[in-house]
Structures are given as C-alpha cells and as structure tokens.
Amino acid sequence: MALVSRNLELLQQAAAEIKNKGGVAEVFTADVTVESEVEKLKADVLKRFPRVDILINNAGINIRKAIHEFTLDEWMQVENTNVTSAFLVCRAFVPQMKGAGYGRIINMTSIMSHVAIAGRTAYAASKSALLGLTKALALELVTEGITVNGISPGPFATELNQPILQNKELNAAFIAKIPVGRWGRVEEVADLAVYLCSENAGFITGTDILIDGGWTAQ
C-alpha cells in the first residue's frame, strides 16, 4: 500500500498502524496539487510497487465563508485540492492501470456534490466537479475493467469538521439535522471503500454512493 500526504509524520503513524496489523505500507510525501510532484510520485511509487490497481483520491479542504469574502487564491486552493489533484493523479496512474482487466478508482466526493449549505460555495463547486469527473472517467475506462466511483460522506467526525465539533451549539444543531442522530464513523467509509474495491463490485461504476445518515433523503 502506498500512502501519500504532505505530512511525513502523519504518514509514518498511519504506516505503523497498518504494519502492526500485518499489512504492508510505504510512505511518499507529495503535494498532489503540483504537477511536477505528482509525476515524481508516480515514478517513486512504481519503483517500489510493480503496478497500481487501486487508486483513492481523498485530498480535501474546505474554506467556509461568504462568496464575496473569498480571495481568488483561497478559491483556487479549494478547487486545486479537491478537483485538480484527482485529475493529476488519475492522469499519472491510469495509463499503467490499463491492460490488467481490473482496476478501481474511488474519488472522495461529498454530500455537497448533491446538496448545498450557505457559505460552502467553493467546496460545493469543487465536489460537484469531482462527481462529474468521476462519471466521465468511468465511461472512459469501462472497457478496461476499471471502475470509477465516488463516495459521498455526510457529517463525519473528522478533522475537516472540527470548527463544528468544537462549537457546542453548532454541533447540536448539526446532529439534529441527521436522521440517524449521530456523526458518521470513519470506519464506515473504510468498509464501503473496501467493498467497492472488491471483485464483487465490478458492476458498480460511474456512480456516487451517499453515506450520510439520511441527510440527503430529507
């Protein structure tokens, strides 16, 4: 397993957890919004592993503010992190994924690919674009046996949502909007990703799976 991030310390912690459970993990530092770093990443990963058959794009950032308060740099930071990174990584690794008759690409989309909240213009725009990329790429790769799907998490207790989790009133208001009455657990997303990467999920492609505690059903 190749783990990629800008933060070497967090990479090493994740790799240690995987190895303690009997897995194999190698760490690679890269900023996946930078073309030259993604190209170097491809070369480094393929030196260590014979090929890459499963690709998960989960780089993400959210800046919450009214649209007139955004600077162009802030807007582009969100778009580049959430969308352009997936394009660059797919462009780099898809060619060597072809020819095996099997492959899995998972893009971490969001419920903001489907619905919106005020103050999330950049994030919603980026995640909607990522969903469009997912669908188009699925059709592009279908004859190769490579599936491309999105996973759209709703409210999960992750670092990205710390501004809400740390605010007692906002947290209570958010939970009140979730039909199942709680935040999601990251393990639930992981289990879904494992299934989508299995042989049994070969008929699932070009779609987006919502895992949101019923949020978008309302």
pLDDT band, residue 158 (cuts 50/70/90): confident
Spatial separation of the C-alpha atoms in residues 134 and 157, rounded to whole Å: 25
7 lies in a domain?
A: no
Q: Work out the average pLDDT over 80-86.
A: 98
Task: Check: CB of residue 142 under 8 Å from CB of residue 103.
Answer: no
pTM of the model: 0.92
Q: Work out the average pLDDT over 55-79.
A: 97
Question: What is the extent of the structural domain holding 210?
Answer: 31-217
Q: For residue 43, count other CB atoms closer than 10 A to its CB.
A: 9
pLDDT of residue 162: 77
Domain harbouring 120, CATH code: 3.40.50.720
pLDDT of residue 174: 82
Sign of the CA dihedral with 18 first, then 19, 25, and 26 last: positive
142 lies in a domain?
A: yes
Alpha helices in the chain (DSSP H): 8-20, 35-48, 72-79, 85-97, 121-141, 162-165, 168-177, 186-196
In tens, the pLDDT along 94-148 reads: 999 999 999 999 999 999 999 999 999 999 999 999 999 999 999 999 999 999 9
pLDDT of residue 161: 74
88 lies in a domain?
A: yes
- Collapsing DSSP to helix, strand or coil, 123 comes out as helix
pLDDT of residue 165: 81
11 lies in a domain?
A: no
Q: Would you please indicate which residues are annotated as catalytic (active-site) residues?
A: 123
Phi, psi of 188 (to 5 degrees): -70, -35
For residue 196, give both structure tokens: 């989508």
pLDDT of residue 49: 95
16 lies in a domain?
A: no
In tens, the pLDDT along 160-218 reads: 677 788 888 888 888 888 999 988 898 999 999 999 999 999 999 999 999 999 999 98
Number of domains forming the structure of the chain? 1
Q: What is the CA radius of gyration of the chain?
A: 18
Task: Check: CB of residue 24 under 8 Å from CB of residue 1.
Answer: yes
Helix (H) or strand (E) segment spanning residue 101: none
In tens, the pLDDT along 4-60 reads: 999 999 999 999 999 999 999 999 999 999 999 999 999 999 999 999 999 999 999
Q: For residue 123, what are the contacts with CB-CB under 8 A and spacing of at least 6?
A: 62, 63, 64, 78, 82, 110, 112
pLDDT of residue 167: 83
23 lies in a domain?
A: no
26 lies in a domain?
A: no
Task: Check: CB of residue 105 under 8 Å from CB of residue 55.
Answer: yes
24 lies in a domain?
A: no
